[in-house]
Amino acid sequence: MDTSATAPAITLDAVTKRFGQVLAVDDVSLAVHPGEVLALLGPNGAGKTTLLDMVLGFTEPTQGSTRTFGNSAKTAASNGMVGAVLQDGGLLDDLTVGETIRMIAACHRWHLPIDEVILRAGVMSFTTRKVKKCSGGQRQRLRFALALLTDPQLLILDEPTAGLDATARNDFWATMHAEARRGRTIVFATHYLREADDYADRVVLMAQGRVIADGSVADMTADMPRQLSAQWVSDIDPYVWADTVGPATQGLHYDATTQRIHLTTAETDWVAAKLLSAGLIRHLTITQPGIEEAFFDLTQDHHAQETAS
Ligand SMILES: Nc1ncnc2c1ncn2[C@@H]1O[C@H](COP(=O)(O)OP(=O)(O)OP(=O)(O)O)[C@@H](O)[C@H]1O
């Protein structure tokens, strides 16, 4: 039975990967649904590349299983269901961009028309350039063109914009966004947290081989303390006021130069209501933590738990 139409794009079932003594991926279960754009985050050595390599069929799990649209990783790869943009390797310096695309296309049983691939990957302005003369951003676009050849439903990108400048990164993601709108499933590993925030529907955070958080950035930051900031307009000393209010205002900082108070608390609404009703402040802002804070908080928590156990 063909299950590819209904199956998750990726199913990882209790996947573990060991390299000798190193536990690179530790009992990870995950389902990625068709059309999702998922960012894989985590500190160096968290297991992101190893996980993606197993999805691509480059390496086998030590335990557990991976499926791609209901197929084994190898079957999915040989059927052209999955395309990969990897950070380095794989290009021949002396070929032109166009020659590279045509050569790799000839290795596939079926591929999209070359002109369409060139257009969609945004390489048309440099198809006659030799690979060795291409910039980092152009090489990544070429790798992307190669990944698109079989019109794969799943694209795996391992740090696709590492080392690119901000403009090249933005251009790359604009192209990727167009692919996501076509309903393609995209899984990418990155160290650029803003990329994850800007382009992914879902973020999976790994540390020491395990998934330690899985959801939207909004989910991850929902219960985190927020930062309250306001101009202090009263003669009362802000620190004296904070002492009388109780634990929610502990850690309040008053900047005498700007005359603003700053406070990080889980009870921003309650504290703001107290300050406003007593006429102590104006120009109040409450800032929600971003992905950087969530990443730092969650990885620190995980590290502390591991060290304690
Ligand atoms: N072929 C290998 N042989 C031995 N150990 C390996 C091998 N590949 C990865 N590892 C180890 O497995 C762990 C996870 O590595 P992996 O490259 O998957 O992490 P990562 O999250 O992709 O890191 P980075 O962000 O630095 O690319 C690390 O401790 C790494 O040293």
More confident residue, 291 or 249: 249
N residues, the chain: 309
Q: Whose CA is nearest to atom 11 of ligand 1?
A: 24
Cβ(45) to ligand 1 under 6 A? Answer: yes
Q: How far apart are CA 307 and CA 300, in angstroms?
A: 10
Structure tokens at 265: 């608390």
Q: Whose CA is nearest to atom 26 of ligand 1?
A: 44
CA of residue 23 to ligand 1 center, whole Å: 9
Q: Whose CA is nearest to atom 8 of ligand 1?
A: 50
Is pTM beyond 0.95 here? no
- Residue 267 dihedral angles phi and psi, to the nearest 5°: -115, 50
The pLDDT value given to residue 89 = 67
pLDDT for 169-187, tens place per residue? 888 888 888 888 888 999 9
Q: How far apart are CA 56 and CA 200, in angstroms?
A: 20
pLDDT for 22-48, tens place per residue? 999 999 999 999 999 999 999 889 999
Query: How far from chain centre, in Å, is Cα 173?
Result: 12
Decide the pairing of beta strands 82-85 and 154-158.
parallel
Query: Rounded to a whole number, what is the largest CA-CA distance in the chain?
Result: 79
pLDDT for 86-135, tens place per residue? 876 678 899 999 999 999 999 888 999 999 999 999 899 999 999 999 98
User: What is the chain's mean pLDDT, rounded?
Assistant: 89
Q: Which atom belonging to ligand 1 lies closest to the Cα atom of 52? A: 18
Do the beta carbons of residue 169 and residue 195 sit within 8 Å? yes
The residues that bridge with 213 in the sheet, in sequence order, are 205
Q: Which atom belonging to ligand 1 lies closest to the Cα atom of 209? A: 14
